[in-house]
Structure 1
Amino acid sequence: MVGFLHAADFHLDSPFAGLSPERAAERRRENRALLGRMAEYVRCSSIDLVLLSGDLFDSGSVYQETWEQLSRALGDMGCPVFIAPGNHDFWSPSSPYARGSWPDNVHIFSSARVEAVPLPELGVSVCGAAFTAPEQTMPLLEGFRAEKDGLVPLMVLHGDLGAAASPYNPISHEQVSASGLAYLALGHIHQRSEPVRLGATWCAYPGCPEGRGFDELGEKGFYHGTIDGDDVSLRFVPFAQRRYESLEVDVSDQEPAAAVEAVLPPSTERDLYRIALTGETDERGIDLSALQQQLGPRFYDLELLDRTRIREDVWARAEEDSLRGLFLRELREKWDRASNDEERETVTQAVRFGLAALDHRDLV
């Protein structure tokens, strides 16, 4: 039985643009530290083989410290490591992969033609190919058939499964089915996929091991697989230092902080949350600044969004024969004509500020 680790899409040196400069720098350090933690997992978990399916780097511009930490971690794994460069870290003579010498146990595919590396001591062969430009419109798997040489054929590849028009190595289900592979280790999609069998070939995306924004929510990690003859099994291993989570909280007829607290899990201090407040409020709306100060310490980072709407009883005063009534009637017409939530939010804010001005009060 052969144990293997399948990971992809580290995107080392990502800018983490949604965070403060200090937090962004800390997240980059944590992303690099993941490499050492993963090497320790490999050493302690009966892993015989590591498959890394591209976009290890976020771009061709890499800090020397990052390159050194990756090289050291891969060497520390102490088993064969295979890398298939992707669209963000495509192989070229000037890419980070060509920067210096890599440990002897590391094999980096550097051609758009599929190459096979036999590992008779493990009873497997590992195939792979590389992006050699930011786009790869010609399918790298097209026409490939694994050799019948008595070794179990595996492949590590960056690409877009089931997306025929993709510029990022489109891979069809038919190509996978005809490949003769036992397992196709994919990268490119940042959301983990459940393993799927196409023909006799199992394939999966592990997703990214660390989320980088609110488009990469929830648990992140990698696959720990085993190969026993032609039988392949996979187990997802959560591994992220921090999680991104997004919530909607209805604050109608509730104190906003209490409404948020009621839906939070017990521990959030290591994670990054985006919380959208919905429901109905009076014309004062939500004091986001005060709420941020109250709830912020519960999180590594917190983003609050006010998507509440004005209660119907506020609009009822539009019938008054007064300046307030005239103002509300005009804004209600704009509300009714609004074509999307963004326009309705703009009208809501205009009502709140306008009524605050009419009442000679500050809008908190």
Structure 2
Amino acid sequence: MIRLIHAADLHLDAPFAALSTERGSERREEQRSLLERLADLCERTQADLVLLSGDLFDSDRPYYETTQALARTLGAMKARVFIAPGNHDFYSPRSAWASLAWPENVHIFSSAEIESVELPGLGCVVHGAAFTAPYCDQPPLRGFRAPDDGAVHLMVLHGDVDGNGRYGSITSSDIAASGLSYLALGHIHTCSGLQKAGDTYWAYPGCPEGRGFDELGDKGVLSGGVEPGAALMDFVPLCSRRYEILTVDVSRGATPQAALEAALPGDARRDIYRILLTGESGIDGLDLDALEAVAAPRFYSVTLRDQTRVRRDLWSRADEDTLTGLFLRRMRANLDAPENGGDRALVEKAVRFGLAALENGEDCCP
């Protein structure tokens, strides 16, 4: 079995514009440290191959120190490394892929047409292609068929399975017809897990380091092995920080601050959180500065968003000569009904749902 690591979408030198200037700079440094964690994984697993499926850089003009760090780290690996540039870091004569002297163990695919590299010592052939512009309208796998020669055929591509035609569209039928043992893809930032079309296994590892709240939770790479007719690829988290979204109903505590404190996780000091405050608040709304002071020490970075609604008097329309007024009068009578056992909260909840239905909206629903 060929041992391999599959990674993609590092997006080195991403701006992290939503963070402060200081935090953004720290995050870019942490992205570079991701390379060391990748190298450690390569050493631990004794990988034969490292397949990097594009968008290693966030743009076609990365910082010089970033390209040096990547070249140095990849060159120190004992594995053979194959890179298929993506739409963010596309191959061109002026790109870092062409202008830098890359280590001997690194092969960079440089054409939009599929190239093939034979590795007789591993009984393997690695195929791949590159983005040569920010967009690729040509389906890169269309018409490809690996020879039935007993070798393990791998391919490294940046592309979109059954998706946008501008980013190297790949169909499931193209994958099934490819004759590949494993197709290592990049472009989608969520790990797909191991998939199969026909006899071909394929996967997206997702991005190994989140950059925003559209990239939540653990991020990492795929590591495992491939042999003729079989593949086993496990997700390995490598991110230094996680992005998470937490919803807090401020109505559930004696005060909004108490509700927030009760909901905060206890082990998120390295993580980046967005907290959505929901439920009912007082007529003057929430004191976000005070609530942020409570939350800030628990996280690397946190933002609060007020999505509460102003508390309303449930019974304010009870005297109206309307269907709503009749409903409220009857429900108020239920407050003292023996069968409710004095459960005021239950009656009030029923009132909110009833008002929402009568007003043809959901503003009152808990």
TM-score bracket, normalised by the shorter chain, equals: 0.7 to 0.9
1:118-267 → structure 2 map (5 Å cutoff): 118-163=118-163, 165-254=164-253, 255-267=255-267
**1:80 & 1:253 partners in 2: Cα distance?**
56
Residue matched to 2:357: none
**1:56 & 1:340 partners in 2: Cα distance?**
47
Shift of 1:315: 9.3
Equivalent residue of 2:122, what SS?
coil
Residue matched to 1:308: 308
Residue matched to 1:25: 25
With normalisation by structure 2, the TM-score equals 0.85
- What are the Cα deviations for residues 79-137 of structure 1, in whole angstroms up to 9, with x where unaligned? 10000000000100011211210000000000011011111111211100000010001
**1:315 & 1:294 partners in 2: Cα distance?**
34
With normalisation by structure 1, the TM-score equals 0.85
Equivalent residue of 1:259, what SS?
helix
Of 153-162 and 31-40, more deviation after overlay is shown by 31-40
Equivalent residue of 1:141, what SS?
coil
Would you say 1:114 and 2:114 are equivalent positions?
yes
Question: Amino acid of the residue matched to residue 128 of structure 1?
Answer: G
Shift of 1:340: 11
Asked if the contact 1:250/1:279 (under 8 Å) is kept, the reply is yes
Asked if the contact 2:182/2:202 (under 8 Å) is kept, the reply is yes
Change in 2 beyond 3 A, CA 1:130/1:269:
same
**1:46 & 1:272 partners in 2: Cα distance?**
33
Question: Amino acid of the residue matched to residue 80 of structure 2?
Answer: P
Consecutive aligned runs of 4 or more in structure 1 exceeding 2 Å deviation: 255-266, 314-319
User: What 5-or-longer segments of structure 2 have no aligned partner?
Assistant: 320-359
Residue matched to 1:55: 55
Equivalent residue of 2:74, what SS?
helix
Asked if the contact 2:151/2:228 (under 8 Å) is kept, the reply is no
Equivalent residue of 2:232, what SS?
strand
**1:178 & 1:95 partners in 2: Cα distance?**
33
Shift of 1:314: 8.2
**2:252 & 2:2 partners in 1: Cα distance?**
58
Larger Rg, first or second structure (1 or 2): 2
**1:223 & 1:116 partners in 2: Cα distance?**
22
Residue matched to 1:322: none
Please give the root-mean-square deviation of Cα atoms over the aligned residues, in Å.
2.3
Equivalent residue of 2:251, what SS?
coil
Change in 2 beyond 3 A, CA 1:315/1:287:
farther
- What are the Cα deviations for residues 179-236 of structure 1, in whole angstroms up to 9, with x where unaligned? 0001000100001112111000011110000000011111100000212333111110
Identity %: 56
Question: Amino acid of the residue matched to residue 280 of structure 2?
Answer: E
Change in 2 beyond 3 A, CA 1:90/1:289:
same
Question: Amino acid of the residue matched to residue 197 of structure 2?
Answer: L
Residue matched to 1:3: 3
Equivalent residue of 2:4, what SS?
strand
- What are the Cα deviations for residues 146-196 of structure 1, in whole angstroms up to 9, with x where unaligned? 022331101010000012x42000000110000000100010000111211
Change in 2 beyond 3 A, CA 1:253/1:129:
closer
User: What 5-or-longer segments of structure 1 have no aligned partner?
Assistant: 320-338, 345-364
